[in-house]
C-alpha cells in the first residue's frame, strides 16, 4: 500500500477496513455517511481501490460526486431487507460503517442479522462519551451473539471513546 494514499476517515477506519480484507474490490454499506469526502470512511476505498457500495444519510450530503448510490433518509425508517437486496448488498457486505449518533441501537435492531445478513468487518460508533454505555453495551451483546468479535474496543479521538471495530471470524 503506497504511503501517498490520503485516507479520509476520522481515525483510520478506512485504512483499517482495507487492511482486514484480501486484495480486490469489495462492497461497503456506509450508514450515516456524512460529507462525501471529508472524514469519510469509504471515499478512499471507492475512489482509490474501486470498492462499491451504498451510502445512507438523513441530511443533504455535500462534497464531490461519487459513483456509489446515496439514499437520503433516516436510517431507522428504511426497510433494510428491501434496500440491501435492491442494491446487491445481500446476503453480506465486506465493510459496514455505521455512524448514526443516538440512533445506533435502533439501526442495529432493524438490520436483518436474524435473516442471515452479515458483514466481514465494521466500524460502529457508540459515542459512549455522549450517550453513556447503553448503546455500546447493546451493540456488543447483539453482535457477539451473532458471532462477531471485537477487534478494537472503545476507539477514541482526543480521549473520547466513541467506536468499536468488529470482525466476523
Report DSSP letters for 127-154, one per residue: -HHHH-SHHHHHHHHHHHHTT-EEEEEE
Residue 52 located in a structural domain: yes
Report the DSSP beta bridge partners of residue 54: 29
Residue 5 located in a structural domain: no
Residue 1 located in a structural domain: no
Residue 3 located in a structural domain: no
Residue 29 located in a structural domain: yes
Report the DSSP beta bridge partners of residue 121: 95, 167
Q: What are phi and psi of 7, to 5 degrees?
A: -75, 140
59: CATH: 3.40.50.150
pTM: 0.96
Residue 4 located in a structural domain: no
Residue 28 located in a structural domain: yes
- End-to-end distance of the chain based on CA atoms, in angstroms? 24
**Cα separation values, 59 from 2, 22, 44, 110, 123, Å:** 34, 33, 21, 20, 20
Residue 158 located in a structural domain: yes
> Would you give the distance in Å from CA 40 to the centre of its chain?
10
Segments forming the whole domain that contains residue 98: 14-167
pLDDT tens string, the chain, 169 residues long: the values are: 556 889 999 999 999 999 999 888 899 999 999 999 999 999 999 999 999 999 999 998 999 999 999 999 999 999 999 999 999 999 999 999 999 999 999 999 999 999 999 999 999 999 999 999 999 999 999 999 999 999 999 999 999 999 999 999 9
User: What's the structural domain count of the chain?
Assistant: 1
> For the CA atoms of the chain, what is the radius of gyration?
15
Q: What are phi and psi of 126, to 5 degrees?
A: -120, -15
> Would you give the distance in Å from CA 101 to the centre of its chain?
12
Amino acid at each position: 500500500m503506497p504511503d501517498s494514499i490520503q485516507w479520509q476517515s476520522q481515525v483510520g477506519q478506512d485504512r483499517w477496513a482495507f487492511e482486514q480484507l484480501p486484495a480486490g474490490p469489495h462492497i461497503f454499506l456506509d450508514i450515516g455517511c456524512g460529507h462525501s469526502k471529508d472524514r469519510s470512511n469509504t471515499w478512499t476505498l471507492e475512489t482509490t481501490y474501486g470498492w462499491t457500495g451504498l451510502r445512507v444519510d438523513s441530511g443533504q450530503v455535500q462534497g464531490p460526486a461519487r459513483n456509489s448510490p446515496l439514499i437520503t433518509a433516516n436510517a431507522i425508517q428504511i426497510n433494510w431487507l428491501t434496500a440491501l437486496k435492491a442494491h446487491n448488498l445481500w446476503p453480506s457486505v465486506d465493510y459496514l460503517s455505521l455512524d448514526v449518533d443516538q440512533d445506533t441501537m435502533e439501526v442495529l435492531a432493524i438490520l436483518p442479522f436474524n435473516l442471515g445478513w452479515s458483514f466481514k468487518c465494521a466500524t460502529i460508533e457508540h459515542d459512549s462519551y455522549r450517550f453513556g454505555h447503553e448503546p455500546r453495551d447493546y451493540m456488543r451483546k447483539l453482535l457477539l451473539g451473532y458471532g462477531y468479535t471485537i477487534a478494537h474496543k472503545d476507539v477514541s479521538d482526543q480521549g473520547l471513546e466513541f467506536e468499536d471495530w468488529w470482525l466476523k471470524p
